[in-house]
């Protein structure tokens, strides 16, 4: 680690340390457009609000796949929501939370402490702990509000046996 809290130049690492430092990253960081065109989940939008997510994008324009601004973990962090159906034809939603939280237990306990880990200058795994907490609360509320929504976070294992999908 460098003194500023970012990963050091480690030639053996499979990751380029510049991705952790927004001032040095070569990856484009773009914010999703803000809009109040939509106010409920799910609803067809090109770019705007998706339920409790202030910034979202209807990726295909048909209400089947959304990207949602999910700040906190890293700059430009996003999550995704896609529509599917159960085997009996009932509509279902899967929310791909990505790296919004580690471990996946935060979706059940959104107020649990993050703990200390020197990955970012913030002293925890998130570059902006306050924004991460807000995002985690939103994802937890989404999960609690609608039984047709399943939340799957990165590093949380498999969905196999958890839910029946239509073919």
Q: Is the confidence at residue 41, as pLDDT, over 90?
A: no
- pLDDT value of residue 122: 67
Q: How many Cβ atoms are within 10 Å of 106's Cβ, its own excluded?
A: 22
Q: Where are the domains of the chain?
A: 17-26+34-153
pTM above 0.75, yes or no: no
Question: DSSP code of 135?
Answer: H
From residue 132, give the alpha-carbon distance in Å to each of 68, 84, 87, 106, 114: 14, 27, 35, 11, 10
136, 110 contact by CB (below 8 A): yes
Task: From 86, 57, 62, select the one nearest 149 (Cα to Cα).
Answer: 86
How far is residue 107's CA from residue 124's CA, in Å, rounded to a whole number?
18
Cβ contacts of 16 within 8 Å, gap of 6 or more: none
- pLDDT value of residue 88: 85
- pLDDT value of residue 37: 34
Q: Is the confidence at residue 121, as pLDDT, over 80?
A: no
Q: In terms of pLDDT, which residue wins out, 8 or 65?
A: 65
- pLDDT value of residue 134: 93
Torsion of CA 115, 119, 125, 126, to 10 degrees: 130
Q: pLDDT (tens digit, 9 = 90+) per residue, 42-64?
A: 444 555 677 778 888 888 888 88
Q: Is the confidence at residue 40, as pLDDT, over 60?
A: no
Mean pLDDT of all residues belonging to the chain: 72
Cis peptide before 163 (omega within 30 of 0): no
């Amino acid at each position: 680690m460098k003194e500023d809290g970012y990963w050091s130049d480690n030639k053996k690492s499979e990751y380029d340390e510049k991705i952790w430092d927004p001032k040095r990253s070569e990856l484009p960081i773009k914010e999703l457009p803000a809009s109040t065109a939509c106010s409920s989940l799910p609803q067809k939008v090109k770019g705007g609000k998706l339920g409790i997510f202030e910034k979202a994008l209807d990726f295909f324009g048909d209400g089947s796949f959304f990207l949602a601004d999910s700040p906190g973990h890293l700059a430009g962090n996003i999550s995704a929501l896609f529509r599917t159906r159960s085997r009996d034809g009932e509509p279902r939603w899967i929310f791909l939370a990505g790296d919004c939280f580690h471990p996946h237990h935060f979706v059940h306990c959104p107020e649990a402490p993050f703990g200390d880990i020197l990955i970012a200058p913030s002293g925890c795994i998130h570059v902006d702990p306050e924004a991460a907490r807000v995002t985690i609360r939103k994802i937890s509320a989404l999960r609690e509000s609608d039984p047709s929504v399943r939340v799957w976070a990165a590093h949380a294992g498999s969905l196999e046996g958890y839910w029946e999908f239509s073919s």
